[in-house]
Amino acid sequence: MRLAVREALLAVRRAPMLSALSITTIAFSLFAFSLFGLVALNIRNALRTVEDRVEIRAFVADGTGAEATGAALGDISAFPEAASVRLVTQSQALDRARRELGEFSDVFEEGILPASIEVRLKVGFRDPATVRAVAKRIEVYDFIDDIRFGEEWVEKLHRLRTIATLAGVALGLTFAIVAIIIIGSTIRMAVMARAREIAIMRLVGATNGFIRAPFLIEGVLKGTLGGLLALVLAWVALAIINRFVVQATFFDAWMGTVGVLAGASIGLAGSALSVGRHLRRV
Amino acid sequence: MIRFSHVHKSFAHTGAALADVSFQVNKGEFVFITGPSGAGKSTILRLCFFEERPTQGEVKVYGVSSATFRPPDVPRLRRRLGIIFQDFRLLEDRSVEANVAFALEVTGTPPSQIAPRVARLLLQVGLSAKATALPLELSGGEQQRVAIARALANDPVALVADEPTGNLDERATRGIFQLFRDINANGTAVLMATHDLDLVRRSGCRTIEINRGQVVFDSASDGGFRPSQPLKAMEGDA
Ligand SMILES: Nc1ncnc2c1ncn2[C@@H]1O[C@H](COP(=O)(O)OP(=O)(O)OP(=O)(O)O)[C@@H](O)[C@H]1O
Ligand SMILES: [Mg+2]
């Protein structure tokens, strides 16, 4: 093992240009991937805040007793989809309308706006079908006059989200595949550059495991360095965007760690693949 | 030690390279393989260290049979053989001593034993003075001595050499050949392919001549040199 580490470091030192080239290649392909990831992350965050506004409003008929609405409130709170349920009384509705309309506040008279039950839904229950189903279940109370949830708007939001997710997965896969191919070929180059050494190792009786070990270590090393470099580049890019374009969020520590680990695993997998192929061929 | 039994070898594009080759090399023997270019000498040697498998027949080397071996047997066998080529095959970016040490590291020799072993091997091939030189700073003959030191590193039972003097002049050839004789005198078998008929004739060693993939002459069975022991007693060696 110690020898394998030494050989791996020696290989990096003997071919500094090639090593630097493969680390930067890995870094840039992971960087492209992480930029894409940042875009996806921020779009998702934006959609999430919009989605938070998905709300069902059930208008309560005038003269409904507090007992009836209170019972309904309790029932609805027990729905697995419900995140929060609250009652907006007639006077609260009026206050809100006055606040929102400012100077036209005097067009409303006391009692003209109905009371309503407002239901917000948990993440994952904001698609049109679920929203509609929940609305249906609320509508069964006979003191509910009318129910609204911005059907068209929910529909549109959902479509946008589906498109964003699909595009995200497709683009993400493409970027990941491109990154793996590029990383694989830079490691292939490192293996080719040492084909002679590998042939000699085999002649003097080195086992395949022994030959493989330094390459795997080298792959992990380059992958990790490339991943870290990519993270730094992404962070710099984000700082520039934050400063000159829009406020955007960066990966959290967990996602950053996963990214670097992904770099290391791609390095490992790329090395294992190219060395394995080389060893099988000769 | 090395036994070929009715070995056939054919390649995808070039067809039959060896046809019904049978011979045996015993412990401590010195055997030349001669024959015109393309006869199949290198193919025979590559079969010896399992770089190739026979298409038919069996190659058995130091207990490892081409018919029954498993992949881990190959590196294990190669540690018991010293393999030498015309083009030396040294690592050109490492010093002479590092090249020799390489063979010891690869086979898991304890680090503390490596330096003294390397020094002794270089002494044996007469290169102590050039231990820190790079291969390309040496003459061809000296480079071949490095390769021989590396081949000897793991105390091989046999040396398998493919035209080891092919790139060397007359004098260097004689020096390298003498080195092989000395190594052989210590009990290591040598199987050497060569074009140098002069060398073969003068040595008086056993010679197997190959032509078009067949053994056309073996001095062990055609008079001349005879094995020092009856063949029967050595069956177990193969
Ligand atoms: N890897 C290979 N693939 C296909 N054909 C091969 C291969 N190795 C050898 N041959 C064929 O086998 C035959 C014998 O080749 P080999 O190298 O054993 O000859 P040789 O006696 O060593 O010749 P030389 O004296 O020129 O080195 C040749 O016809 C050659 O074309
Ligand atoms: Mg040859």
What is the DSSP annotation of A101-144? HGGGGGG--TT-SPEEEEEEE-TT--SHHHHHHHHHHHHTSTTE
Same domain, residue pair A40 and A173: yes
- Asked if A28 reaches chain B (Cβ–Cβ under 8 Å), the answer is no
Whether B77 sits inside 8 A of A202 (CB atoms) is: no
> Final residue of a domain: which of A148, A175, A201?
A148
Question: What was the pLDDT predicted at B160?
Answer: 97
Burial class (CB in 10 A: 0-12, 13-18, 19+), A49: exposed
Q: Are A98 and A203 in a shared domain?
A: no
Bridge pairing between strands B158-162 and B81-85: parallel
- Give the span between the Cα atoms of B9 and B66, in whole angstroms: 12
B17 lines ligand 1 (CB under 6 A): yes
pLDDT at A42 over 90: no
Of B199, B190, B221, give the one whose Cα is nearest residue B25. Answer: B190
Percent of chain A with pLDDT over 90: 3
For residues A30 and A227, the answer to whether their CB atoms sit within 8 Å is: yes
- CA A272 to CA A2: how far, in whole Å? 19
CA distance linking residue B75 with residue A277, whole number of Å: 18
Query: How close A24 comes to chain B (CA, Å)?
Result: 25
Task: Kindly state whether residues A273 and A164 are assigned to the same domain.
Answer: yes
> What pLDDT does residue A140 have?
83
- Chain A residue numbers touching B72 (CB-CB < 8 A): 207
- Domain match, A33 and A172 both: yes
- Of A122, A148, A174, which closes a domain? A148
Same domain, A193 and A122: no
* Residue A28 sits in the same domain as residue A168: yes
For the domain B2-237, what is the CATH code?
3.40.50.300
Do A162 and A270 fall into the same domain?
yes
Tell me, yes or no, whether A167 and A231 share the same domain: yes
Q: Do B106 and A201 touch (CB under 8 A)?
A: yes
Neighbours of ion ligand 2 (CB under 5 A): B 42
Q: Is the pLDDT of residue A34 over 90?
A: no
pTM of the model: 0.72
Is residue A32 assigned to a domain? yes
Q: Which helix (H) or strand (E) holds B21?
A: strand B15-25
- Classify residue B129 by its DSSP letter: G
Into how many domains does chain A fold? 2
Residue range of the domain that includes A100: 55-148
Instruction: Give the residue from A111, A127, A148 where a domain finishes.
Output: A148
Residues A64-100 have pLDDT tens digits of 777 888 888 888 888 888 888 888 888 888 888 888 7
pLDDT classification of A111: cutoffs 50, 70, 90: low
Q: Has residue A153 been placed in a domain?
A: no
Whether residue A82 is found in the same domain as residue A211? no
Q: Which residues of A9-39 are buried (b: 16+ CB within 10 A; e: fewer)?
A: eebbeebeebbeebbbbbbbbbbbbbbbbbe
Residue A269 lies in a domain: yes
Whole-Å CA distances, B119 to B79, B100, B151, B230 = 19, 9, 14, 39
Judge: B91–A197 Cβ closer than 8 Å, yes or no: yes
The tally of CA atoms less than 13 A away on the side-chain side of residue B160 is 24
Q: Report how far residue B192's alpha carbon sits from residue B188's, in angstroms, rounded to the nearest whole number.
A: 13
